[in-house]
Each structure stands twice: as structure tokens, then as C-alpha cells.
Chains A and B, each alone.
Chain A
Amino acid sequence: MAMMDNALTKAWVKLVALGFCTAALASVHLAQPAWRLLAGACVLLLAGAKARLILGQYLGLKSSRFWTNVFDLVLALFLVAAFALFAFAKGG
């Protein structure tokens, strides 16, 4: 039980930390388009990391390697699509 508490608490601390990272990125105003693209990619990566933590630790998917991989793939595809659309708006 204590081990489960620790794992859950660690997940929460990581989520909060990732949230602060996102907030820090959001507060930075970048003039160069290339830097804005990079910042956008980082924001999406942070979102993906948070989503993985919730799926794995809160929802308990970490107990299944197969489903972790499936959701990782779906998440990755979604984030790549999101970044592609975001980048196209910048460059288009």
C-alpha cells in the first residue's frame, strides 16, 4: 500500500512539475518563427508526457505492456498530427 501511495504521489509531483514547465513555456514570448515552432513542439511533448502519466499511473495502464504501447502509439499520432497542423499554419 505504501509503495502504491509513493507511485501515485510521484506521478502527481511529476504532473505538477510538467504543468509548471508548460506554464513557463507559455510565458516566454519568442520573436523568431523557428523558436516558436520549437516551443510548440515542446508544449506538445509536455502534453504527451502528462497524458502518459495519467494513462499509466492514474488509470493503471502500466500493468499492461500491450495497452501502454497501443495508447502510446495513438497519443504519438495525435501529437504529430497536431504539430503538423500547428507548423503548417506558421509556414503556410
Chain B
Amino acid sequence: MTNRISPQEKSSVLDELPGELMMWVLIVSEILVFGATLLAFLAVRITDPARFAADQAVLNQVAGALNTLVLVTSGYCAARAVQETEAGRKAMSSRWVFAACGLGTVFLVIKGFEYWAKFSEGIGIETSPFFTFYFLITGFHAAHVVAGIVILLLVRGSNARVMETAVAFWHMVDLVWVLLFPIIYVLR
């Protein structure tokens, strides 16, 4: 990870943040938005826990768990891409970027099958408060996955700083999912 200035020159704690400060501003704002939405989900759950539990039982936990494995592995690939770029091995870095994007696509395919299964059962965004939250939160997250894939492909072959910034966005997507999955899919 690259820091913006050397340890000797650090004058504030902001300089201790690895990578670009503005990407951290974006990461924090996204985490706050998702965090607030997840807490709102849990708050609304209090109004009808039995209905929420019944709706949650319909979710495909295996697909969600598989998607967790997919995303953390894609995060690993993205982090390796940054390492290879820092080492000057751009060809290898590209391969890791493709691996990360490939796994991101797998995530979207699995998520797509989940949505299709729900729609086939007549379940939609207006079915119940649970599914309103489910589709909004996971759909918003999936949009970030799409954006992350596009960003990674655009910065492929760039210098270490640009790669690190783009990959930080991908790790944020990963981070949100590891908090989202347990709360939406598992807590009962």
C-alpha cells in the first residue's frame, strides 16, 4: 500500500491513511449509508419479527454464503493486482484484475439467479417490508459491484496509485457485503 508522503513528512493523521484521501471519504460515506440502512432494516423488523423471520426463511442462504466466498476471494485477487503493479509486473497485475472482475461477475450471476427465483415465486419489492429492504439493499450493493467491475477494468495497466485507489473501492464493496449478508440473511 502506498502512503501519500513519507513517515518523516507526516504532519497529520490524515496522512496515515493508505492511498487517496478522497477514496476514503467515499468509502466512509458508503459505509455510513449502508450501515444506516441495515440498522433501519433491524428497526423495522421490531414491528413484525414473525413476518420478517418467515420472509427471511425464503432467502437462499447457500447462495448468500457462496457469494461471500466469491467476494472475499475477488478482494484477494484485487489486492494481489495492486501488489503486482507495485512490483512492476503489469501483465500479472492484469491477470489478477481479470480474476477479480470474473469473480465479481460470478457474484452478479448468483445474485441474478436469486432475484429470478424470487420473481418466479411472485415475490417482489412490494411484497413485504422485509423484501422491500432486501431488494433495495442488495440491489444497491449489486450496483456498486457493477461499478467496481467497470472501474477495475478501466484502471487495468495503470500505475500503482491509480490501481490502489480503484481497488480500495472494490474492498469497500466487499466490506459492505460481509456486514449485509449476516444481517439480512442470517440473523433470526
Binding site for B on A (CB under 8 A): 1, 4-5, 8-9, 11-12, 15-16, 19, 22-23, 25-27, 36, 40, 43-44, 46-47, 50-51, 54-55, 57-61, 63-64, 66-67, 74, 78, 81-82, 85-86, 88-90, 92
Contacts and interface: CB of A to CB of B under 8 A. Distances in A.
A63 B3 CA distance: 9
Nearest to A58: B171
25 contacts: A5-B80, A8-B79, A8-B80, A8-B83, A9-B76, A15-B178, A19-B65, A22-B68, A22-B182, A23-B61, A27-B61, A44-B187, A47-B183, A50-B72, A51-B178, A54-B178, A58-B174, A59-B171, A64-B16, A64-B17, A67-B16, A74-B31, A82-B187, A85-B46, A88-B46
A27 B75 CA distance: 26
Interface in B153-178: 168, 171-172, 174-175, 178
Nearest to B39: A81
B45 A25 contact: no
Interface in B45-83: 45-46, 49, 52, 61, 65, 68-69, 72-73, 75-76, 78-80, 83
A85 B17 CA distance: 32
A63 B178 contact: no
A64 B24 CA distance: 14
Nearest to A40: B187
Given A22-B186, A26-B61, A89-B45, A50 B178 contact: yes
Contacts of B61: 23, 26-27
Contacts, number: 122
> Closest 3 A-B residue pairs measured CB to CB?
A60-B1, A85-B42, A64-B16
Which of B18, B42, B187 has the most C-beta atoms of chain A within 10 angstroms of its own C-beta? B187
B178 A12 contact: no
A78 to B, nearest CB: 5
A88 B44 CA distance: 11
A36 B188 contact: yes
A46 B181 CA distance: 11
Given A66-B16, A78-B35, A5 B83 contact: yes
Given A15-B75, A27-B61, A50-B72, 4 more contacts: A9-B76, A26-B186, A59-B175, A89-B52
A54 B175 contact: yes
B179 A22 contact: no
